Chains A and B, each alone.
Chain A
Amino acid sequence: DAGVIQSPRHEVTEMGQEVTLRCKPISGHDYLFWYRQTMMRGLELLIYFNNNVPIDDSGMPEDRFSAKMPNASFSTLKIQPSEPRDSAVYFCASSPYRQGYYGYTFGSGTRLTVV
Protein backbone atom coordinates (compact mmCIF):
# COMPACT_ATOMS: atom_id res chain seq x y z
CA ASP A 1 0.00 0.00 0.00
CA ALA A 2 1.68 3.18 -1.21
CA GLY A 3 -0.50 5.48 0.84
CA VAL A 4 -1.98 8.73 -0.39
CA ILE A 5 0.24 10.19 -3.09
CA GLN A 6 0.39 13.91 -3.74
CA SER A 7 2.26 15.79 -6.41
CA PRO A 8 4.16 17.96 -6.66
CA ARG A 9 5.79 18.10 -3.22
CA HIS A 10 6.78 21.71 -3.76
CA GLU A 11 5.45 24.30 -6.15
CA VAL A 12 6.64 27.84 -6.64
CA THR A 13 4.65 29.96 -9.03
CA GLU A 14 4.12 33.58 -9.93
CA MET A 15 1.01 35.45 -9.01
CA GLY A 16 -1.65 35.07 -11.65
CA GLN A 17 -0.52 31.67 -12.85
CA GLU A 18 -2.66 28.55 -12.76
CA VAL A 19 -1.65 25.91 -10.26
CA THR A 20 -2.82 22.29 -10.25
CA LEU A 21 -2.28 19.99 -7.30
CA ARG A 22 -2.78 16.26 -7.71
CA CYS A 23 -3.78 13.44 -5.42
CA LYS A 24 -4.05 9.69 -5.70
CA PRO A 25 -6.02 8.23 -2.77
CA ILE A 26 -5.61 4.78 -1.31
CA SER A 27 -7.36 2.19 -3.41
CA GLY A 28 -10.75 1.28 -1.99
CA HIS A 29 -11.17 4.46 0.02
CA ASP A 30 -14.56 6.04 -0.56
CA TYR A 31 -13.78 9.51 0.73
CA LEU A 32 -11.24 12.08 -0.39
CA PHE A 33 -10.50 15.34 1.40
CA TRP A 34 -8.52 18.45 0.54
CA TYR A 35 -7.14 20.44 3.47
CA ARG A 36 -5.10 23.63 3.57
CA GLN A 37 -2.66 24.42 6.37
CA THR A 38 -1.43 27.93 7.16
CA MET A 39 0.02 29.50 10.27
CA MET A 40 -2.86 31.92 10.52
CA ARG A 41 -5.79 29.56 9.92
CA GLY A 42 -4.42 26.17 10.87
CA LEU A 43 -5.82 23.11 9.14
CA GLU A 44 -9.00 23.88 7.27
CA LEU A 45 -11.11 21.59 5.13
CA LEU A 46 -11.58 22.90 1.61
CA ILE A 47 -13.72 20.19 0.02
CA TYR A 48 -14.45 16.51 0.26
CA PHE A 49 -15.75 13.83 -2.08
CA ASN A 50 -17.65 10.62 -1.51
CA ASN A 51 -17.43 8.09 -4.34
CA ASN A 52 -16.08 10.82 -6.62
CA VAL A 53 -18.99 13.17 -5.92
CA PRO A 54 -18.31 16.50 -4.15
CA ILE A 55 -20.23 16.50 -0.89
CA ASP A 56 -19.19 19.70 0.85
CA ASP A 57 -17.25 22.51 -0.79
CA SER A 58 -18.16 25.18 1.73
CA GLY A 59 -14.52 25.55 2.69
CA MET A 60 -13.36 26.52 -0.78
CA PRO A 61 -12.25 30.11 -0.27
CA GLU A 62 -13.44 31.58 -3.54
CA ASP A 63 -14.17 30.92 -7.18
CA ARG A 64 -10.49 30.83 -8.00
CA PHE A 65 -10.40 27.40 -6.37
CA SER A 66 -11.87 24.33 -8.01
CA ALA A 67 -11.57 20.61 -7.35
CA LYS A 68 -12.42 17.57 -9.40
CA MET A 69 -12.41 13.84 -8.93
CA PRO A 70 -12.87 12.27 -12.37
CA ASN A 71 -12.40 8.74 -11.04
CA ALA A 72 -11.77 6.84 -7.83
CA SER A 73 -8.01 7.05 -8.15
CA PHE A 74 -7.38 10.69 -8.96
CA SER A 75 -8.29 14.16 -7.79
CA THR A 76 -7.07 17.66 -8.61
CA LEU A 77 -7.22 20.98 -6.83
CA LYS A 78 -6.80 23.93 -9.14
CA ILE A 79 -6.16 27.57 -8.34
CA GLN A 80 -6.64 30.04 -11.15
CA PRO A 81 -5.37 32.72 -10.91
CA SER A 82 -3.09 32.15 -7.96
CA GLU A 83 -2.36 34.86 -5.40
CA PRO A 84 0.35 35.21 -2.72
CA ARG A 85 -2.23 34.57 0.03
CA ASP A 86 -2.77 31.09 -1.41
CA SER A 87 0.69 30.13 -0.19
CA ALA A 88 0.17 27.18 2.15
CA VAL A 89 0.61 23.46 2.51
CA TYR A 90 -2.20 21.57 0.81
CA PHE A 91 -2.98 18.09 2.09
CA CYS A 92 -5.02 15.41 0.48
CA ALA A 93 -6.45 12.65 2.68
CA SER A 94 -8.55 9.60 2.02
CA SER A 95 -10.76 7.44 4.18
CA PRO A 96 -12.75 4.24 3.81
CA TYR A 97 -16.39 4.02 4.81
CA ARG A 98 -16.56 1.68 7.75
CA GLN A 99 -18.91 1.56 10.67
CA GLY A 100 -17.23 2.95 13.74
CA TYR A 101 -13.63 3.81 13.08
CA TYR A 102 -12.85 5.89 10.03
CA GLY A 103 -9.16 5.80 9.19
CA TYR A 104 -8.01 9.01 7.61
CA THR A 105 -4.68 8.78 5.83
CA PHE A 106 -2.94 11.95 4.76
CA GLY A 107 -0.59 12.48 1.88
CA SER A 108 2.75 14.20 2.37
CA GLY A 109 1.31 17.52 1.27
CA THR A 110 2.15 20.06 -1.42
CA ARG A 111 3.92 23.19 -0.25
CA LEU A 112 2.72 25.98 -2.50
CA THR A 113 4.50 29.32 -2.68
CA VAL A 114 3.02 32.08 -4.80
CA VAL A 115 5.38 35.00 -5.38
Chain B
Amino acid sequence: AQKITQTQPGMFVQEKEAVTLDCTYDTSDPSYGLFWYKQPSSGEMIFLIYQGSYDQQNATEGRYSLNFQKARKSANLVISASQLGDSAMYFCAMREGGLTGGGNKLTFGTGTQLKVEL
Protein backbone atom coordinates (compact mmCIF):
# COMPACT_ATOMS: atom_id res chain seq x y z
CA ALA B 1 0.00 0.00 0.00
CA GLN B 2 1.14 3.51 -0.75
CA LYS B 3 2.23 5.38 2.34
CA ILE B 4 1.72 8.79 0.74
CA THR B 5 -0.91 9.38 -1.92
CA GLN B 6 -1.17 12.48 -4.05
CA THR B 7 -4.10 12.02 -6.40
CA GLN B 8 -3.69 15.20 -8.44
CA PRO B 9 -0.94 14.80 -11.03
CA GLY B 10 -1.57 18.34 -12.29
CA MET B 11 -3.36 21.45 -11.10
CA PHE B 12 -4.03 24.88 -12.57
CA VAL B 13 -4.77 28.01 -10.57
CA GLN B 14 -5.23 31.65 -11.47
CA GLU B 15 -2.75 34.12 -10.08
CA LYS B 16 -3.83 35.55 -6.70
CA GLU B 17 -6.25 32.69 -6.11
CA ALA B 18 -5.86 30.04 -3.39
CA VAL B 19 -5.17 26.42 -4.26
CA THR B 20 -5.29 23.19 -2.27
CA LEU B 21 -3.01 20.27 -3.03
CA ASP B 22 -4.21 16.97 -1.65
CA CYS B 23 -2.21 14.46 0.34
CA THR B 24 -3.34 11.38 2.24
CA TYR B 25 -1.08 9.12 4.22
CA ASP B 26 -1.08 5.70 5.76
CA THR B 27 0.71 4.78 8.96
CA SER B 28 0.09 2.88 12.15
CA ASP B 29 2.81 4.77 14.00
CA PRO B 30 1.23 7.22 16.49
CA SER B 31 4.17 9.58 16.12
CA TYR B 32 4.97 10.86 12.65
CA GLY B 33 5.72 14.01 10.75
CA LEU B 34 4.35 15.34 7.50
CA PHE B 35 6.28 17.58 5.14
CA TRP B 36 5.68 19.47 1.95
CA TYR B 37 8.46 20.22 -0.50
CA LYS B 38 8.50 22.35 -3.63
CA GLN B 39 10.57 21.39 -6.65
CA PRO B 40 10.79 24.10 -9.30
CA SER B 41 11.97 23.39 -12.81
CA SER B 42 15.54 24.07 -11.71
CA GLY B 43 15.33 20.83 -9.73
CA GLU B 44 16.17 21.70 -6.15
CA MET B 45 14.01 20.46 -3.28
CA ILE B 46 12.73 23.32 -1.15
CA PHE B 47 11.19 22.65 2.26
CA LEU B 48 7.88 24.46 2.73
CA ILE B 49 6.08 23.32 5.87
CA TYR B 50 5.99 20.66 8.60
CA GLN B 51 3.21 19.17 10.71
CA GLY B 52 3.82 16.83 13.63
CA SER B 53 1.24 14.20 14.45
CA TYR B 54 0.81 15.57 17.98
CA ASP B 55 0.55 19.19 16.94
CA GLN B 56 -2.79 20.59 17.98
CA GLN B 57 -2.88 23.40 15.46
CA ASN B 58 -2.45 23.40 11.72
CA ALA B 59 0.98 24.52 10.62
CA THR B 60 1.37 27.81 8.77
CA GLU B 61 4.36 29.38 7.03
CA GLY B 62 3.63 32.64 5.27
CA ARG B 63 1.32 31.89 2.35
CA TYR B 64 1.48 28.15 3.04
CA SER B 65 -0.78 26.35 5.46
CA LEU B 66 -1.32 22.70 6.12
CA ASN B 67 -4.89 21.46 6.57
CA PHE B 68 -4.24 18.55 8.92
CA GLN B 69 -7.15 16.16 9.44
CA LYS B 70 -5.74 13.37 11.54
CA ALA B 71 -8.79 11.12 11.61
CA ARG B 72 -8.97 11.20 7.84
CA LYS B 73 -5.17 10.87 7.51
CA SER B 74 -5.12 13.92 5.33
CA ALA B 75 -2.49 16.67 5.13
CA ASN B 76 -3.45 19.04 2.35
CA LEU B 77 -1.29 22.01 1.44
CA VAL B 78 -3.06 25.32 0.93
CA ILE B 79 -1.28 28.06 -0.96
CA SER B 80 -2.97 31.42 -0.64
CA ALA B 81 -2.63 34.28 -3.13
CA SER B 82 -0.84 32.19 -5.76
CA GLN B 83 2.06 33.74 -7.62
CA LEU B 84 3.64 32.85 -10.94
CA GLY B 85 6.69 31.70 -9.02
CA ASP B 86 4.62 29.04 -7.29
CA SER B 87 4.54 27.02 -10.52
CA ALA B 88 6.43 23.87 -9.59
CA MET B 89 6.10 20.24 -8.56
CA TYR B 90 4.93 19.79 -4.98
CA PHE B 91 5.69 16.72 -2.93
CA CYS B 92 4.09 15.51 0.26
CA ALA B 93 6.31 13.35 2.47
CA MET B 94 6.07 11.48 5.77
CA ARG B 95 8.54 10.52 8.46
CA GLU B 96 7.62 7.62 10.70
CA GLY B 97 9.43 6.30 13.71
CA GLY B 98 8.70 8.68 16.54
CA LEU B 99 11.35 10.50 18.46
CA THR B 100 13.90 7.73 18.65
CA GLY B 101 15.34 8.45 15.25
CA GLY B 102 15.12 4.79 14.32
CA GLY B 103 12.86 5.46 11.40
CA ASN B 104 14.15 8.86 10.51
CA LYS B 105 13.57 8.66 6.77
CA LEU B 106 11.19 10.46 4.46
CA THR B 107 8.78 8.67 2.16
CA PHE B 108 7.52 10.79 -0.70
CA GLY B 109 4.34 10.90 -2.71
CA THR B 110 4.33 11.08 -6.49
CA GLY B 111 3.88 14.83 -6.56
CA THR B 112 1.46 17.37 -7.99
CA GLN B 113 2.52 19.68 -10.82
CA LEU B 114 1.07 23.13 -10.15
CA LYS B 115 0.77 25.72 -12.88
CA VAL B 116 -0.15 29.28 -11.97
CA GLU B 117 -1.75 31.21 -14.78
CA LEU B 118 -2.26 34.93 -15.36
Contacts and interface: CB of A to CB of B under 8 A. Distances in A.
B38 to A, nearest CB: 11
Interface in A70-102: 89, 91, 93, 95, 97, 99-102
Interface in B95-114: 95, 99, 101, 104-111
B105 A42 contact: no
B61 interface: no
B29 interface: no
Interface in B63-84: none
Contacts of B111: 42
A94 to B, nearest CB: 11
Nearest to A95: B104
Contacts, number: 50
B36 to A, nearest CB: 12
A56 B44 CA distance: 24
A13 interface: no
Interface in A20-42: 30-31, 33, 42
Contact of B101 (A42, A43, A97): A97
Interface of B: 33, 35, 37, 43-45, 47, 50, 52, 91, 95, 99, 101, 104-111
Given A101-B33, A109-B43, 13 more contacts: A31-B101, A42-B109, A42-B111, A43-B108, A45-B106, A50-B101, A50-B104, A89-B43, A95-B104, A101-B52, A103-B47, A104-B35, A104-B47
Interface of A: 30-31, 33, 42-45, 48, 50, 56, 89, 91, 93, 95, 97, 99-106, 108-109, 111
